[in-house]
Structure 1
Protein backbone atom coordinates (compact mmCIF):
# COMPACT_ATOMS: atom_id res chain seq x y z
CA UNK A 1 0.00 0.00 0.00
CA UNK A 2 1.26 3.47 -0.85
CA UNK A 3 2.09 5.68 2.08
CA UNK A 4 0.84 9.25 1.64
CA UNK A 5 3.37 11.95 0.87
CA UNK A 6 3.46 15.73 1.03
CA UNK A 7 4.87 15.54 -2.52
CA UNK A 8 1.59 14.20 -3.93
CA UNK A 9 -0.37 16.77 -5.92
CA UNK A 10 -4.03 17.04 -6.97
CA UNK A 11 -4.84 18.42 -10.42
CA UNK A 12 -7.62 18.24 -12.97
CA UNK A 13 -6.49 16.38 -16.10
CA UNK A 14 -8.31 18.10 -18.95
CA UNK A 15 -7.13 15.48 -21.47
CA UNK A 16 -8.68 12.60 -19.51
CA UNK A 17 -11.46 14.85 -18.13
CA UNK A 18 -11.04 13.66 -14.56
CA UNK A 19 -9.48 14.56 -11.24
CA UNK A 20 -6.00 13.08 -10.87
CA UNK A 21 -3.29 12.89 -8.26
CA UNK A 22 0.37 12.95 -9.17
CA UNK A 23 2.08 10.44 -6.89
CA UNK A 24 5.57 10.79 -8.40
CA UNK A 25 7.22 11.92 -11.63
CA UNK A 26 6.32 8.57 -13.19
CA UNK A 27 3.05 7.72 -11.44
CA UNK A 28 -0.37 9.37 -11.71
CA UNK A 29 -3.62 8.07 -10.25
CA UNK A 30 -6.76 8.96 -12.21
CA UNK A 31 -9.98 9.13 -10.23
CA UNK A 32 -13.30 8.48 -11.98
CA UNK A 33 -14.63 11.93 -11.00
CA UNK A 34 -15.53 14.49 -13.68
CA UNK A 35 -15.70 18.27 -13.41
CA UNK A 36 -19.51 18.35 -13.11
CA UNK A 37 -19.29 16.20 -9.94
CA UNK A 38 -16.62 18.31 -8.26
CA UNK A 39 -16.46 21.68 -6.57
CA UNK A 40 -14.52 24.48 -8.34
CA UNK A 41 -11.41 23.92 -6.17
CA UNK A 42 -10.77 20.68 -8.06
CA UNK A 43 -9.71 22.73 -11.09
CA UNK A 44 -6.72 24.18 -9.20
CA UNK A 45 -3.44 22.33 -8.80
CA UNK A 46 -2.83 21.80 -5.07
CA UNK A 47 -0.69 19.72 -2.80
CA UNK A 48 -1.85 16.71 -0.82
CA UNK A 49 -2.57 18.45 2.48
CA UNK A 50 -2.07 17.25 6.03
CA UNK A 51 -5.86 16.80 6.24
CA UNK A 52 -5.78 14.69 3.05
CA UNK A 53 -3.02 12.51 4.52
CA UNK A 54 -4.92 12.10 7.77
CA UNK A 55 -8.13 11.10 5.98
CA UNK A 56 -6.26 8.69 3.65
CA UNK A 57 -4.66 6.99 6.67
CA UNK A 58 -8.01 6.84 8.54
CA UNK A 59 -9.63 5.09 5.57
CA UNK A 60 -6.84 2.54 5.22
CA UNK A 61 -6.84 1.83 8.96
CA UNK A 62 -10.62 1.32 8.98
CA UNK A 63 -10.42 -1.04 6.02
CA UNK A 64 -7.55 -3.04 7.52
CA UNK A 65 -10.02 -4.16 10.21
CA UNK A 66 -11.47 -6.28 7.40
CA UNK A 67 -8.20 -8.27 7.08
CA UNK A 68 -7.94 -10.20 3.85
CA UNK A 69 -10.92 -8.46 2.23
CA UNK A 70 -8.76 -6.05 0.22
CA UNK A 71 -5.32 -6.25 -1.38
CA UNK A 72 -2.79 -3.46 -0.83
CA UNK A 73 -3.56 -2.11 -4.31
CA UNK A 74 -7.31 -2.11 -3.58
CA UNK A 75 -6.75 -0.33 -0.26
CA UNK A 76 -4.76 2.37 -2.03
CA UNK A 77 -7.36 2.78 -4.78
CA UNK A 78 -10.24 2.97 -2.30
CA UNK A 79 -8.41 5.40 -0.02
CA UNK A 80 -7.35 7.73 -2.85
CA UNK A 81 -10.85 7.84 -4.33
CA UNK A 82 -12.43 8.37 -0.89
CA UNK A 83 -10.00 11.21 -0.18
CA UNK A 84 -10.88 12.81 -3.52
CA UNK A 85 -14.60 12.55 -2.69
CA UNK A 86 -14.14 13.93 0.81
CA UNK A 87 -12.12 16.90 -0.46
CA UNK A 88 -13.72 17.81 -3.79
CA UNK A 89 -17.16 16.21 -4.29
CA UNK A 90 -20.14 18.55 -4.63
CA UNK A 91 -22.75 18.32 -1.86
CA UNK A 92 -25.63 15.95 -2.54
CA UNK A 93 -29.15 15.42 -1.30
CA UNK A 94 -30.01 11.94 0.02
CA UNK A 95 -31.37 9.44 -2.51
CA UNK A 96 -32.48 6.77 -0.08
CA UNK A 97 -35.56 5.79 -2.10
CA UNK A 98 -33.43 3.36 -4.15
CA UNK A 99 -32.78 1.20 -1.09
CA UNK A 100 -34.48 -0.83 1.63
CA UNK A 101 -34.74 0.67 5.09
CA UNK A 102 -32.90 -1.43 7.71
CA UNK A 103 -34.26 -2.32 11.13
CA UNK A 104 -30.67 -2.79 12.34
CA UNK A 105 -28.80 0.09 10.73
CA UNK A 106 -25.23 1.25 11.03
CA UNK A 107 -21.67 1.05 9.74
CA UNK A 108 -18.85 -1.27 10.84
CA UNK A 109 -15.25 -0.04 10.40
CA UNK A 110 -16.40 2.35 7.70
CA UNK A 111 -18.24 -0.26 5.62
CA UNK A 112 -21.93 -0.96 5.15
CA UNK A 113 -24.28 -2.66 2.74
CA UNK A 114 -27.04 -0.97 0.78
CA UNK A 115 -29.83 -3.33 -0.25
CA UNK A 116 -32.69 -3.10 -2.73
CA UNK A 117 -34.90 -5.44 -4.69
CA UNK A 118 -32.11 -6.01 -7.25
CA UNK A 119 -29.38 -6.93 -4.77
CA UNK A 120 -26.87 -5.24 -2.54
CA UNK A 121 -23.71 -3.22 -2.72
CA UNK A 122 -20.78 -2.73 -0.37
CA UNK A 123 -20.14 0.94 0.39
CA UNK A 124 -17.59 3.01 2.28
CA UNK A 125 -19.01 5.78 4.46
CA UNK A 126 -16.95 8.81 3.38
CA UNK A 127 -18.79 11.44 5.42
CA UNK A 128 -21.67 11.47 7.85
CA UNK A 129 -23.82 14.24 9.24
CA UNK A 130 -26.61 13.99 11.79
CA UNK A 131 -29.06 12.27 9.41
CA UNK A 132 -27.26 10.96 6.31
CA UNK A 133 -24.04 9.45 4.99
CA UNK A 134 -22.12 10.13 1.81
CA UNK A 135 -21.17 6.67 0.56
CA UNK A 136 -18.79 5.44 -2.15
CA UNK A 137 -19.59 2.11 -3.82
CA UNK A 138 -16.84 -0.49 -3.32
CA UNK A 139 -18.67 -3.28 -5.17
CA UNK A 140 -18.13 -3.48 -8.94
CA UNK A 141 -21.63 -2.11 -9.62
CA UNK A 142 -25.12 -1.95 -8.17
CA UNK A 143 -28.46 -1.69 -9.94
CA UNK A 144 -30.56 1.10 -8.42
CA UNK A 145 -33.77 0.65 -10.34
CA UNK A 146 -34.58 -0.92 -13.69
CA UNK A 147 -32.55 1.69 -15.58
CA UNK A 148 -30.02 3.37 -13.29
CA UNK A 149 -26.97 1.85 -11.68
CA UNK A 150 -23.95 2.87 -9.65
CA UNK A 151 -20.48 1.93 -10.86
CA UNK A 152 -17.55 1.18 -8.60
CA UNK A 153 -16.37 4.32 -6.76
CA UNK A 154 -19.48 6.33 -7.63
CA UNK A 155 -21.03 8.23 -4.76
CA UNK A 156 -24.52 8.40 -3.29
CA UNK A 157 -25.91 10.00 -0.15
CA UNK A 158 -28.42 8.01 1.93
CA UNK A 159 -30.14 8.35 5.27
CA UNK A 160 -28.39 6.39 8.04
CA UNK A 161 -31.25 3.93 8.52
CA UNK A 162 -30.65 2.50 5.03
CA UNK A 163 -27.12 1.30 5.85
CA UNK A 164 -26.63 -2.25 7.13
CA UNK A 165 -23.27 -2.83 8.91
CA UNK A 166 -20.87 -4.97 6.87
CA UNK A 167 -19.78 -7.83 9.12
CA UNK A 168 -17.71 -10.26 7.01
CA UNK A 169 -17.72 -12.96 9.70
CA UNK A 170 -21.52 -12.96 10.01
CA UNK A 171 -23.49 -15.83 8.45
CA UNK A 172 -23.39 -15.62 4.67
CA UNK A 173 -27.16 -15.92 4.35
CA UNK A 174 -27.45 -12.27 5.42
CA UNK A 175 -25.33 -11.16 2.46
CA UNK A 176 -26.66 -13.55 -0.19
Structure 2
Protein backbone atom coordinates (compact mmCIF):
# COMPACT_ATOMS: atom_id res chain seq x y z
CA UNK A 1 0.00 0.00 0.00
CA UNK A 2 1.22 3.46 -0.87
CA UNK A 3 1.92 5.67 2.14
CA UNK A 4 2.27 9.42 1.52
CA UNK A 5 5.28 11.18 3.00
CA UNK A 6 6.80 14.65 3.00
CA UNK A 7 9.28 13.74 0.24
CA UNK A 8 6.55 13.44 -2.41
CA UNK A 9 6.61 16.33 -4.89
CA UNK A 10 4.29 17.52 -7.66
CA UNK A 11 6.01 18.87 -10.78
CA UNK A 12 5.28 19.37 -14.46
CA UNK A 13 7.44 17.36 -16.88
CA UNK A 14 7.86 19.43 -20.04
CA UNK A 15 9.20 16.48 -22.05
CA UNK A 16 6.07 14.36 -21.57
CA UNK A 17 3.83 17.44 -21.08
CA UNK A 18 2.38 15.80 -17.97
CA UNK A 19 1.86 16.60 -14.33
CA UNK A 20 3.94 14.13 -12.32
CA UNK A 21 4.20 13.11 -8.70
CA UNK A 22 7.68 12.10 -7.54
CA UNK A 23 7.10 9.38 -4.94
CA UNK A 24 10.79 8.96 -4.08
CA UNK A 25 12.74 5.70 -4.38
CA UNK A 26 12.89 6.21 -8.17
CA UNK A 27 9.08 5.99 -8.46
CA UNK A 28 7.11 8.49 -10.54
CA UNK A 29 3.36 8.79 -11.00
CA UNK A 30 2.01 10.35 -14.20
CA UNK A 31 -1.30 12.16 -13.66
CA UNK A 32 -4.08 11.42 -16.16
CA UNK A 33 -5.15 15.07 -16.58
CA UNK A 34 -4.12 16.67 -19.88
CA UNK A 35 -1.96 19.80 -19.65
CA UNK A 36 -4.72 21.97 -21.16
CA UNK A 37 -6.95 21.22 -18.14
CA UNK A 38 -4.38 22.22 -15.51
CA UNK A 39 -4.37 25.47 -13.55
CA UNK A 40 -1.16 27.58 -13.64
CA UNK A 41 -0.05 26.31 -10.19
CA UNK A 42 0.40 22.83 -11.69
CA UNK A 43 3.35 24.07 -13.73
CA UNK A 44 5.40 24.91 -10.62
CA UNK A 45 7.00 22.37 -8.30
CA UNK A 46 5.15 21.95 -5.00
CA UNK A 47 5.18 19.47 -2.12
CA UNK A 48 2.52 16.83 -1.58
CA UNK A 49 0.80 18.65 1.29
CA UNK A 50 -0.80 17.41 4.48
CA UNK A 51 -4.17 18.21 2.86
CA UNK A 52 -3.19 16.11 -0.17
CA UNK A 53 -2.22 13.21 2.10
CA UNK A 54 -5.48 13.47 4.05
CA UNK A 55 -7.54 13.54 0.83
CA UNK A 56 -5.55 10.60 -0.57
CA UNK A 57 -6.25 8.54 2.56
CA UNK A 58 -9.93 9.48 2.55
CA UNK A 59 -10.28 8.61 -1.16
CA UNK A 60 -8.43 5.32 -0.69
CA UNK A 61 -10.81 4.32 2.11
CA UNK A 62 -13.87 5.26 0.04
CA UNK A 63 -12.68 3.35 -3.03
CA UNK A 64 -12.53 0.03 -1.18
CA UNK A 65 -16.17 -0.54 -2.23
CA UNK A 66 -15.11 -0.74 -5.90
CA UNK A 67 -14.11 -3.86 -7.78
CA UNK A 68 -10.58 -2.58 -8.45
CA UNK A 69 -7.18 -3.94 -7.47
CA UNK A 70 -5.25 -2.07 -4.76
CA UNK A 71 -2.83 -0.53 -7.33
CA UNK A 72 -5.74 0.71 -9.47
CA UNK A 73 -7.47 2.19 -6.38
CA UNK A 74 -4.20 4.00 -5.52
CA UNK A 75 -3.98 5.28 -9.11
CA UNK A 76 -7.55 6.54 -8.97
CA UNK A 77 -6.99 8.19 -5.57
CA UNK A 78 -3.80 9.96 -6.74
CA UNK A 79 -5.54 11.18 -9.90
CA UNK A 80 -8.45 12.39 -7.75
CA UNK A 81 -6.11 14.35 -5.46
CA UNK A 82 -4.40 15.88 -8.52
CA UNK A 83 -7.78 16.82 -10.03
CA UNK A 84 -8.99 18.33 -6.75
CA UNK A 85 -5.86 20.44 -6.48
CA UNK A 86 -4.93 21.24 -10.11
CA UNK A 87 -7.93 20.76 -12.47
CA UNK A 88 -9.21 23.92 -14.19
CA UNK A 89 -12.88 24.78 -13.73
CA UNK A 90 -14.87 23.40 -16.66
CA UNK A 91 -18.45 23.65 -17.87
CA UNK A 92 -20.88 20.76 -17.34
CA UNK A 93 -21.40 18.28 -20.18
CA UNK A 94 -24.67 16.93 -18.86
CA UNK A 95 -26.17 16.21 -22.28
CA UNK A 96 -24.32 12.87 -22.30
CA UNK A 97 -26.27 11.66 -19.24
CA UNK A 98 -29.83 10.84 -18.34
CA UNK A 99 -31.56 12.87 -15.61
CA UNK A 100 -32.37 10.66 -12.62
CA UNK A 101 -35.75 10.21 -10.94
CA UNK A 102 -34.08 10.31 -7.51
CA UNK A 103 -30.93 12.41 -8.05
CA UNK A 104 -28.35 13.18 -5.37
CA UNK A 105 -28.85 16.81 -4.46
CA UNK A 106 -25.66 17.36 -2.46
CA UNK A 107 -22.90 14.88 -3.36
CA UNK A 108 -19.73 15.20 -1.30
CA UNK A 109 -16.08 15.15 -2.34
CA UNK A 110 -14.89 11.55 -2.28
CA UNK A 111 -18.35 10.03 -2.63
CA UNK A 112 -18.83 7.28 -5.21
CA UNK A 113 -21.92 7.86 -7.37
CA UNK A 114 -23.35 6.32 -10.52
CA UNK A 115 -23.91 7.92 -13.90
CA UNK A 116 -25.84 6.52 -16.84
CA UNK A 117 -25.10 7.80 -20.32
CA UNK A 118 -27.69 8.27 -23.01
CA UNK A 119 -25.69 5.64 -24.92
CA UNK A 120 -26.82 3.15 -22.26
CA UNK A 121 -23.58 2.75 -20.30
CA UNK A 122 -23.65 2.83 -16.50
CA UNK A 123 -20.60 3.17 -14.23
CA UNK A 124 -19.32 4.40 -10.87
CA UNK A 125 -17.75 7.85 -10.69
CA UNK A 126 -15.87 9.54 -7.87
CA UNK A 127 -16.95 13.06 -6.87
CA UNK A 128 -13.94 15.36 -6.99
CA UNK A 129 -15.75 18.61 -6.26
CA UNK A 130 -19.36 19.74 -5.86
CA UNK A 131 -19.84 23.27 -7.21
CA UNK A 132 -23.45 23.66 -6.06
CA UNK A 133 -25.59 22.46 -8.95
CA UNK A 134 -22.87 20.50 -10.77
CA UNK A 135 -20.00 18.21 -9.78
CA UNK A 136 -16.62 17.31 -11.23
CA UNK A 137 -16.60 13.50 -11.46
CA UNK A 138 -13.89 10.95 -12.28
CA UNK A 139 -14.56 7.59 -13.93
CA UNK A 140 -13.93 4.84 -11.36
CA UNK A 141 -14.09 1.84 -13.71
CA UNK A 142 -11.22 0.39 -15.73
CA UNK A 143 -13.23 -0.11 -18.91
CA UNK A 144 -13.90 2.96 -21.06
CA UNK A 145 -17.25 4.66 -20.49
CA UNK A 146 -19.44 5.11 -23.58
CA UNK A 147 -20.61 8.76 -23.54
CA UNK A 148 -22.12 8.60 -27.04
CA UNK A 149 -21.83 6.49 -30.19
CA UNK A 150 -18.44 8.02 -31.01
CA UNK A 151 -17.12 9.41 -27.71
CA UNK A 152 -15.70 7.57 -24.69
CA UNK A 153 -14.16 8.48 -21.36
CA UNK A 154 -11.13 6.52 -20.09
CA UNK A 155 -10.37 5.31 -16.55
CA UNK A 156 -9.69 8.36 -14.33
CA UNK A 157 -11.19 10.67 -16.96
CA UNK A 158 -12.87 13.73 -15.44
CA UNK A 159 -16.14 15.28 -16.54
CA UNK A 160 -18.44 17.85 -14.94
CA UNK A 161 -22.17 17.10 -14.84
CA UNK A 162 -25.28 18.60 -13.28
CA UNK A 163 -26.14 16.94 -9.98
CA UNK A 164 -29.58 15.88 -11.28
CA UNK A 165 -27.69 13.28 -13.38
CA UNK A 166 -26.08 11.60 -10.36
CA UNK A 167 -27.61 8.61 -8.63
CA UNK A 168 -26.64 6.54 -5.63
CA UNK A 169 -23.96 3.93 -6.26
CA UNK A 170 -24.81 0.47 -4.99
CA UNK A 171 -21.72 -1.78 -4.96
CA UNK A 172 -22.04 -5.12 -6.69
CA UNK A 173 -21.57 -8.00 -4.31
CA UNK A 174 -18.72 -10.26 -5.34
CA UNK A 175 -19.80 -13.56 -6.80
CA UNK A 176 -19.29 -16.12 -4.09
CA UNK A 177 -17.74 -19.39 -5.08
CA UNK A 178 -19.36 -22.58 -3.96
CA UNK A 179 -22.91 -23.63 -3.37
CA UNK A 180 -25.14 -22.81 -0.45
CA UNK A 181 -28.14 -24.71 0.77
CA UNK A 182 -31.18 -23.29 2.49
CA UNK A 183 -31.75 -24.86 5.86
CA UNK A 184 -34.51 -24.63 8.35
Does the TM-score normalized on the shorter chain lie above 0.5?
A: yes
The number of residues matched between the two structures is 168
Gaps of 5+ in 2: 174-184
Q: How does 1:1-176 map to 2 (within 5 A)?
A: 1-64=1-64, 66=65, 69-106=67-104, 110-118=111-119, 119-139=121-141, 140-169=143-172
Q: Distance in 1 between matches of 2:74 and 2:68?
A: 10
* Structure 1 length-normalised TM: 0.88
- Note the alpha carbon deviations across 1:135-172, whole angstroms, 9 max, x for none: 011222112122222111111111111011111158xx
Deviations 1:101-129 (A, max 9, x none): 11122369711111123212221111112
Any runs of at least 4 consecutive aligned residues in structure 1 with deviations exceeding 6 A, and if so which? none
Structure 1: state its 5+ residue gaps: 171-176
Aligned-residue CA RMSD in angstroms? 1.8
Asked if 2 retains the 8 angstrom alpha-carbon contact of 1:98 and 1:116, the reply is: yes
TM-score by length of 2: 0.84
In structure 2, distance between residues paired with 1:96 and 1:141: 18
Whether the 8 Å contact between 1:11 and 1:45 is mirrored in structure 2 is yes
Q: CA deviation at 1:98?
A: 0.7
Deviations 1:16-55 (A, max 9, x none): 2111100013100111222211001111011001111111
Which region of structure 1 is more displaced relative to structure 2, 157-166 or 83-92?
A: 157-166
